[in-house]
């Protein structure tokens, strides 16, 4: 299927070049024309794959999240209990931290823009809410299993876990040499989990 | 001193209007001309007070930080021990959260821009590093007092505390209706502190 594989190549080439440009210049300052020029594709080919720059960003975001989901699934499947699953997920943060650190400032810029357009915003915020629910359920089942203290609020625990990861990604973005951020993230999640264990 | 007080009025008027514009349009999209127009001051008057838009932003940032420092001082002075001081500071987050929630997305945009200009970046990142050191010392003295577990790494604890606050501010910025964020921040800091207490 040469036509199909060429289409996929163009799709991935556009994703690759747009990430480069977004990282260098920022999301807002990068135009579709810039991306087409860099990826050496026509505007027609671009718009065949992505109705808009926002759709391109959402596609980039879902490739990151797909990787994250796969890692979380691997960590969850092999774990004996909920704290072990969460520690396993934290262990993988090292693998994906470099990638996320690059994408995170772009995500922040996109979120800020998306906040003015309800439909795009719903799509941008949906994965965040999905992870929140995922972790809340995980904490809930850890409480039921007796791994975490009974008075733990699973929604609060999920918000704090997300805050730790996002807050460290933020610190890593604007102060990259301030610490070994991969190590800090892993140790920080372990410290938080230790505090809520029974 | 009519001249002095008029100067102070102009200074504060510019700060007030620039915050409004930065919140609405973003930091980058707001020009000095926009600010002068909104504040009804001449460009001459603007540049008399602020050599550049970046200096104006740094002045805005230091008014926020001054408020924060005052609240921290009040909380610290009246506390019997380190965990009580930290809980006292967390209690004040409610008072300043609304203000910070507004300034935080602007701060993120500024940080992103500042990362390309070493001198500005140094000034932008300095308060973050100062708070990190402040909290690290506070955790250190809490360990020495026997309030926190002996194996606690005070630098890590400070990074996690900052991550919790920044990560929750971030969630509050892009999902304002997702939770009662003031309450979540207070409860989240308490949960973290409880976990590291002896």
pLDDT, one tens digit per residue, over A170-179 is 898 888 888 9
C-alpha closest to that of A56 among A31, A74, A73, A29: A31
Answer yes or no: is pLDDT of A55 > 90.
yes
Which of A26, A155, A184 is opposite residue B159, by nearest beta carbon? A184
Is the pLDDT at A98 greater than 90, yes or no? no
Residue A196, pLDDT above cutoff 60:
yes
Contact at 8 Å (CB) between A6 and A14? Answer: no
Euclidean distance between CA atoms A116 and A108, whole angstroms? 14
Question: Would you state the pLDDT for residue A96?
Answer: 66
> What residue in B sits closest to A133 (Cα-Cα)?
B178
Q: In whole angstroms, how far apart are CA B43 and each of A71, B15, B33, B34, B47?
A: 54, 14, 7, 10, 6
Q: Which of B85, B116, B104, B113 is nearest to B173 (CA)?
A: B104
With 70 as the cut, is the pLDDT of residue A145 above it?
yes
pLDDT at res. A4: 54
Q: Taking an 8 Å Cβ-Cβ cutoff, which residues of chain A contact chain B?
A: 26, 28, 105, 108-109, 111-112, 115, 124-125, 128-129, 132, 152-153, 155-157, 159-160, 162-168, 170-171, 173-175, 178-179, 184, 187-188, 191-192, 194-196
Q: What is the mean pLDDT of chain A?
A: 89
Looking up tokens 């935080």, which residue turns up? B104
Residues in chain B whose Cβ is within 8 Å of chain A: 26, 28, 105, 108-109, 111-112, 115, 124-125, 128-129, 132, 152-153, 155-157, 159-160, 162-168, 170-171, 173-175, 178-179, 184, 187-188, 191-192, 194-196
B109–A112: do the CB atoms touch at under 8 Å? yes
DSSP 8-state secondary structure symbol assigned to residue A149:
-
Provide the CATH number for the domain formed by A52-196 in this structure.
Answer: 1.10.357.10
Q: Can you say how many angstroms the Cα of residue B196 is from the centroid of all Cα atoms in its chain?
A: 25
Q: What integer is the mean pLDDT of A74-96?
A: 85
Beta-bridged to residue A148, according to DSSP, are A197
Instruction: Look at residue B19 in the predicted model and tell me its pLDDT.
Output: 92
Instruction: Report phi then psi at A148, rounded to 5.
Output: -110, 160
Which chain B residues touch A191 with a CB distance below 8 Å?
152, 156-157, 160, 195-196
Q: How far apart are CA B195 and CA B198, in angstroms?
A: 8
Give me the pLDDT at residue B162, please. Answer: 94
Nearest to B170 among A166, A174, A192 (CB): A166
Chain A to chain B Cβ contacts (< 8 Å): 126
Distance, CA of B181 to CA of B186 (rounded, Å): 9
Option in B124, B162, B195 nearest A194 (CB) = B195
CB spacing of A163 vs B164 below 8 angstroms? yes
- pLDDT mean over A56-66: 90
CATH number listed for the domain at residues A1-50: 1.10.10.60
Between helix A2-25 and helix A53-77 the angle, nearest 10°, is: 100
Distance from CA of A129 to the nearest CA of B (A): 9
Tens of pLDDT, residue by residue, chain B (198 residues): 444 567 779 999 999 999 999 988 888 889 999 999 999 999 999 999 999 999 999 999 888 888 888 888 888 888 899 999 998 888 887 776 766 667 788 888 888 778 778 888 888 889 999 999 999 999 999 999 999 999 999 999 999 999 999 999 889 888 888 899 889 999 999 999 999 998
Task: Return the DSSP state at B52.
Answer: S
Nearest Cα to Cα of residue A110 among B9, B42, B174, B97: B174
**Who contacts B34 (Cβ-Cβ below 8 Å, separation ≥6)?**
B21, B25
pLDDT at residue A1 greater than cutoff 70: no
Residue of A nearest to B193 (CA): A195
Collapse the DSSP code of B148 into the 3-class scheme (helix H, G, I; strand E, B; otherwise coil) and give the result: strand
Q: What is the mean pLDDT of residues A20-39?
A: 93
For position B124, what pLDDT does the model report? 87
pLDDT band at A114 (very low <50, low <70, confident <90, very high): confident
Specify whether the CB–CB gap between A161 and B192 falls below 8 A.
no
The residue extents of the domains of chain B are 1-50, 52-196
pTM comes to: 0.89
């Amino acid at each position: 299927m040469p036509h199909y594989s060429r289409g996929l190549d163009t799709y991935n080439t556009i994703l690759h070049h747009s990430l480069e440009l977004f990282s260098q210049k920022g999301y807002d300052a990068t135009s579709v024309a810039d991306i087409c020029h860099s990826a050496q594709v026509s505007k027609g080919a671009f718009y065949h794959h992505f109705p808009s720059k926002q759709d391109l960003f959402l596609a980039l975001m879902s490739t990151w999240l797909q990787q994250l989901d796969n890692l979380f699934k691997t960590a969850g499947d092999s774990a004996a209990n909920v704290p072990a699953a969460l520690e396993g997920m934290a262990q993988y943060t090292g693998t994906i931290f470099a990638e996320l650190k690059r994408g995170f400032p772009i995500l922040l810029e996109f979120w800020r823009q998306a906040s003015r357009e309800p439909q795009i915003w719903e799509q941008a915020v949906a994965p965040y809410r999905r992870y929140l629910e995922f972790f809340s359920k995980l904490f809930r089942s850890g409480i039921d299993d007796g791994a975490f203290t009974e008075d733990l609020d699973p929604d609060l625990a999920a918000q704090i876990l997300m805050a730790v990861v996002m807050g460290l990604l933020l610190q890593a973005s604007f102060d990259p040499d301030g610490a070994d951020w991969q190590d800090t993230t892993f140790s920080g999640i372990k410290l938080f989990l230790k505090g809520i264990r029974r």
